[in-house]
Amino acid sequence: MTLLEHPATALPCAGSLAAALLVAGRSGTLLVLAVDEPGPARTAAVRAAVRRETRVEDWVGTEGDDVAVVLSVLPADLDAVADRLLSVAERVTGRPAAGGLSAARPDHSPAELLLRARAGLRVAWACGGSRVVRHP
């Protein structure tokens, strides 16, 4: 049996969201940021600005029009870091932004964590934006 015969057992691609969550382990948290009136240029600008504001061990990528960030921070610092990154997104685009958080758990796949973070993002937009909502 090889990894080619059973791709489900293969390691995630380097640089992917799944790989970042694997490296972060149980301490990882997924933050999804979105700006009002997204587009490729705005998404790229937010990604670059957020990358400058995060640590080397944090992963920053894009998932469609959203910017995804895998953070490895202490739970006590998580809200402050998420709010700071949200303000970076708003500052760089000049548009309202919102965010959703989901903490990594062993029983959740990367796709499920992304769905949970996006659920928090939808709640943040429903509340008027300019906030980060944590999905349980």
Distance from C-alpha of 77 to C-alpha of 101, rounded to nearest angstrom? 13
**Strand order across the beta sheet in which 97-103 lies:** 59-63, 66-72, 28-35, 97-103, 132-135
pLDDT at 81: 97
pLDDT at 19: 82
Distance of CA 16 to the CA centre of its chain: 12
pLDDT at 7: 45
How many of the other CB atoms lie within 10 Å of CB of 85?
A: 25
Architecture of domain 20-135: 2-Layer Sandwich (3.30)
pLDDT at 13: 56
Q: What is the mean pLDDT of each run of 10 residues along the chain (136 residues)?
A: 44 68 82 94 96 94 94 92 98 97 90 95 97 93
The pTM assigned to this predicted structure is 0.85
